[in-house]
Amino acid sequence: MPVWLNDAVFYEVYPQSFCDTNGDGIGDIEGIASKLGYVHDLGCNAIWINPCFVSPFKDGGYDIADYRVVAPRYGTNKDLCRLFAKAHAAGIHILLDLVPGHTSDQHPWFVQSALPFTNEYTNRYIWTDSTWTAPRDFRCVSGRFDRNGNYLVNFFSTQPALNYGFGRVTESWQLPSTHPDCLATRDAMKDVMRFWLNKGCDGFRVDMADSLVKNDDDKRATADIWRDVRTMLDRDYPEAVLVSEWSDPGRALRCGFHADFYLDHEDNGYHALFRRRDQATGEPLGFFSRQGNGDIGLFVRDYLRRYEDSKDYGYISFITGNHDTPRMRRTYDETELKLAYAFIFTMPGVPFLYYGDEIGMRYAEGLVSKEGGYERTGSRTPMQWTRGPNCGFSDAPADQLYLPVDVSPDAPTVEQQAQDPQSLLNTVTQVIRLRHANADLQANGSFAVLYAQKGAYPFVYRRGELVIAVNPSAHQASAPVDTRGTVLFSLGELPARSEHETSMAPQSFIVVQP
């Protein structure tokens, strides 16, 4: 396990929307480099950059046409290597986004695979044995090429699935995961990883990590791939990190990943904390909604199971949001966000902060889909730095921006919030600083629930020797827990504390050293 990961706090950068330095309306690598000081001062010591490689951008860059070349709109490979060096000098690690499950249909591998004669790349992708074979259990595309077959896709028609084989072979056109051509796909992806690791990259966030081998119900064949990758990393790049988009840490971490995202799925504890709503009325039912109708028990049952199943193998990664989900600000006000983020950054594991969440950027409603974003587009608008033109994102004319900026008079900006000691930005910075200063709050610090009652508030938990209590509701709430001691951090009014009870004010949070 790379030691640096224990104290890591990640900042996710959507490159096209972060900072534009050449005036073309699209963010770039130099823009990221120019803001490393901001990231460092925020307290984030690691960055995850969404795909920045050559692409036709039918899915925001997740349709890669060349894994080894930076897309010209972002800069060059030299720019990215300079970013690695500058980040390392500032004590910041950089993860790139690895998309191993599919490529663009413009990737040279696929161009060769689509030819009607056998070649080195014929089986690099998954093709049926006839244009008339269209399996119902898979997404496939027909009639685009001279090759007599349909190709499987993972998502859009322009994203052909790379061939890692099948766990259960049920048709003649399916290859087992141990077939030499499927192993060649695995080796090709390892070569891509080596290429960037050798240039200074510190690891990868892995897109849809569990989806490589098809008909792999128990994920054993997919697990073999990632264990093989981890063996390579441990041998040749022992400080490199793998973070999976799997949302099943007990399985993902046993497969070789160092951390796994705790994503917003409707049946899990993350959803119960922040996103749950009554499907009929829309009433907020998240535990961190001020209405106070949440159930912490839904979270505790799900999270404790995952935590106990995975803590000996790696880390769970809480997120404030990401490029695929509506920003939390869509339904939460600033006070609710402060409490939610204070919780996220005091939990075990390796947290990820999505760019702009630290200032409460809004989800932009009603935008036309951009580069395959669809409803995700509203979470991908430009970072809001200043009150100046385009919120300081770009010098380009407003109608040439990648996406429009928030033009509301009260649009939050870094410039404005940096000057307000009580702002969301400064609150996030204080909590992250507290995390760095206390080993008990870092990734592998111990965790225990002290008070969590179904339908009740507050929630009280222990990290190492520290006791943390949060009451997100707009009502007074008490717990039969002793939280006396030195208050290291607080939000809202301080609670009334005795040997037998802690009575918390509405929307309050404390971290106590007993």
Are the CB atoms for 327 and 383 separated by under 8 Å? no
Q: Can you tell me the distance from the alpha carbon of 173 to that of 6, in angstroms, rounded to the nearest whole number?
A: 45
Are the CB atoms for 164 and 212 separated by under 8 Å? yes
Domains: count for the chain: 3
Whether 81 and 212 map to the same domain: the answer is: yes
- Backbone phi and psi for residue 198, each to the nearest 5 degrees, phi listed first: -70, -20
Residue 431 lies in a domain: yes
Residue 307: the pLDDT is 98
Q: What is the pTM (predicted TM-score) of this model?
A: 0.97
Q: What CATH code is carried by the domain that includes residue 236?
A: 3.20.20.80
Query: In this structure, how many other beta carbons lie within 10 angstroms of the beta carbon of residue 238?
Result: 10
Residue 462 lies in a domain: yes
Q: Can you tell me the distance from the alpha carbon of 74 to that of 30, in angstroms, rounded to the nearest whole number?
A: 8
Whole-Å CA distances, 54 to 96, 148, 256, 496: 14, 28, 28, 58
What average pLDDT values come out for the chain (514 residues) when binned by 10 residues? 97 98 98 98 98 98 98 98 98 98 98 97 97 91 94 96 97 97 98 98 98 96 98 98 97 97 96 94 95 97 97 98 97 98 98 98 97 98 97 97 96 98 98 98 98 96 98 98 97 96 98 98
Whether 198 and 158 map to the same domain: the answer is: no
Whether 47 and 78 map to the same domain: the answer is: yes
Residue 370 lies in a domain: no
User: Structural domain of residue 209, as residue ranges?
Assistant: 3-101+182-267+346-361+381-439
Residue 136: the pLDDT is 86
Are the CB atoms for 171 and 183 separated by under 8 Å? no
Q: Can you tell me the distance from the alpha carbon of 92 to that of 40, in angstroms, rounded to the nearest whole number?
A: 7
Whether 47 and 129 map to the same domain: the answer is: no
Whether 53 and 136 map to the same domain: the answer is: no
Residue 433 lies in a domain: yes
Are the CB atoms for 470 and 502 separated by under 8 Å? no
The burial of 506, by beta-carbon neighbours within 10 Å (0-12 exposed, 13-18 middle, 19 or more buried), is given as middle
Q: Can you tell me the distance from the alpha carbon of 82 to that of 93, in angstroms, rounded to the nearest whole number?
A: 13
Whether 350 and 232 map to the same domain: the answer is: yes
- Backbone phi and psi for residue 507, each to the nearest 5 degrees, phi listed first: 45, 65
Whether 463 and 393 map to the same domain: the answer is: no
DSSP secondary structure of 105-133? TTSHHHHHHTSSS--TTTTSB-B-SSTT-
Q: Rounded to 5 degrees, what angle do the CA atoms 98, 445, 48 make?
A: 20
Q: What is the pLDDT of residues 241-271, one digit of tens each?
A: 999 999 999 999 999 999 999 999 999 999 9
Whether 51 and 195 map to the same domain: the answer is: yes
Q: Rounded to 5 degrees, what angle do the CA atoms 210, 52, 360 make?
A: 85
- Of 163, 196, 212, the last residue of a domain is 163
Whether 14 and 127 map to the same domain: the answer is: no
Residue 369 lies in a domain: no
3-state helix, strand, coil in the chain (%, to 5): 30, 20, 50
Q: Which three-class secondary structure state does DSSP give residue 220?
A: helix
Whether 26 and 77 map to the same domain: the answer is: yes
Whether 19 and 74 map to the same domain: the answer is: yes
